[in-house]
Structure 1
Amino acid sequence: MNRALIVIDVQESFRRRPLWEAVDRPGIAARTARLVDAARAAGDLVVWVLHAEPGSGTPFDPASGHVRLMDGLDPAAGEPVLTKTSRNAFTTTGLQRVLTRRGVGELVVCGIQTEQCCETTARVGADLGYGVVFVTDATATFPIAHRDAPPAVRAGQDVAALLADPRTLPAAAVAERTEYALAGRFARIASLDDLAPAGRLH
């Protein structure tokens, strides 16, 4: 069975938001690069996905210049780079067509954010019949504000208030809940060391 690594939204846009200071894995680009190296060494397809919100005036607006991969991540020749406008990598892209043409039956999912675009892609992929491997420690996310928190907190603009609010769900808890929701239903949970043992790579 052919396999594809789906790299989701590891892009500069996130680093331009105030909430970046609360990210659980600031080294997500290096973790992603490690998975990419392992995938290429195994002959797996690597698919790069970026998130865009045209006309939004945010760091996700292509006009901002930030809808690009983080430094250190560079697609190789022949590796598809897709842009999505939904929370999963399938709905607004040609991802399924790319995978079908390559005979891919298994997906390895990594990227940003753990419980949003990564989890949603894993769920949709499973529903479409792919085997899915979810590499939680090669994803990154942020604390989530309580639904009744002030708008600036919920929008991730007041990071100090977000972190001070006892109702805020910590990033570690977000990732844990994602694993509970996916495991045995939509995906197999794997670690970075499972797929890319450090000693095997240069």
Structure 2
Amino acid sequence: MTRALIVIDVQESFRAQPLWETISDPKIADKVNRLVRSARRAGDLVVWVLHSEPGTGDVFDPALGHVRPLEELDPRQDGEPLVHKTAHNAFTTTNLQQLLTENGVRELAVCGIRTEQCVETTARVASDLGYRVTFVVDATATNPIPHRDAPADRSVAELLADPRTLPADEAVRRTEYALAGRFATIATVDELEAAADLRA
């Protein structure tokens, strides 16, 4: 086993936020499930990562019950690791690198929520650590991004009405440009499925 699929933050915490109505792909779980099935078929390691902020009292506080995979997902309990992170990337506050090393993994495919935040940051750190990284762009999702000067407590309608707000599709496009040829290979679910079928 030299490859792993890292599923990052595809969790109910996001669906519990009002901003979920603006998510770029509300059916992201379907695409993640396709990747997971392909990885399992090819004998690749699947690692589930959840973001956790204990004691905050918000949707990322495990005490509220939202820090769990989206209900449409099917994480196995038989050897598929589940790690909880408290940083943007999946390495800094977890034993992810140790898990990958123990399993001989040198190539990663990353997917999840949010495209330009935790998924991109994980891809960058993984690249710096020497992994060969594939960023599965259409199995990521994000929200429109407020301007740096926008008030933090605005409603979704106010966010969307602000002409300074960066649309979600533009955030995805910029992430592709930032990663491609530097930190990761950009691929689609279809491409990863085809590659996994060849290895199976």
Query: How many residues are matched?
Result: 194
Aligned ranges for residues 1-202 of structure 1 at < 5 Å?
Answer: 2-76=2-76, 77-153=78-154, 158-197=155-194
Q: Distance in 2 between matches of 1:147 and 1:72?
A: 34
Deviation, structure 1 residue 151: 2.2
Deviation, structure 1 residue 87: 0.3
Q: Distance in 1 between matches of 2:185 and 2:85?
A: 24
Task: State the one-letter code of the partner of 2:151.
Answer: P
Question: TM-score by structure 2 length?
Answer: 0.95
Q: Describe the superposition over 1:134-159 as per-residue Cα deviations: whole angstroms up to 9, x where unpaired.
A: 00100000000111112213xxxx10
Q: Distance in 1 between matches of 2:70 and 2:133?
A: 25
Q: Distance in 1 between matches of 2:19 and 2:114?
A: 12
Q: Distance in 1 between matches of 2:117 and 2:145?
A: 11
Question: TM-score by structure 1 length?
Answer: 0.94
Q: Describe the superposition over 1:154-180 as per-residue Cα deviations: whole angstroms up to 9, x where unpaired.
A: xxxx10011111110000000001011
Q: Distance in 1 between matches of 2:56 and 2:94?
A: 19
2:39 match: secondary structure: helix
Q: Distance in 1 between matches of 2:178 and 2:22?
A: 23
Deviation, structure 1 residue 185: 0.3
Q: Percent of aligned positions with the same letter in both sequences?
A: 67
Q: Describe the superposition over 1:78-129 as per-residue Cα deviations: whole angstroms up to 9, x where unpaired.
A: 0000000000000000000000000000000000000010000000000000
Task: State the one-letter code of the partner of 1:130.
Answer: Y
1:196 match: secondary structure: helix
Poorly superposed stretches of 4+, deviation over 4 Å: none
RMSD: 1.0
Task: State the one-letter code of the partner of 1:5.
Answer: L
Task: State the one-letter code of the partner of 1:91.
Answer: T
Deviation, structure 1 residue 54: 0.4
Deviation, structure 1 residue 74: 2.1
Q: Distance in 1 between matches of 2:185 and 2:152?
A: 36
The answer to which of 72-81 and 5-14 deviates more is 72-81
Q: Distance in 1 between matches of 2:12 and 2:152?
A: 24
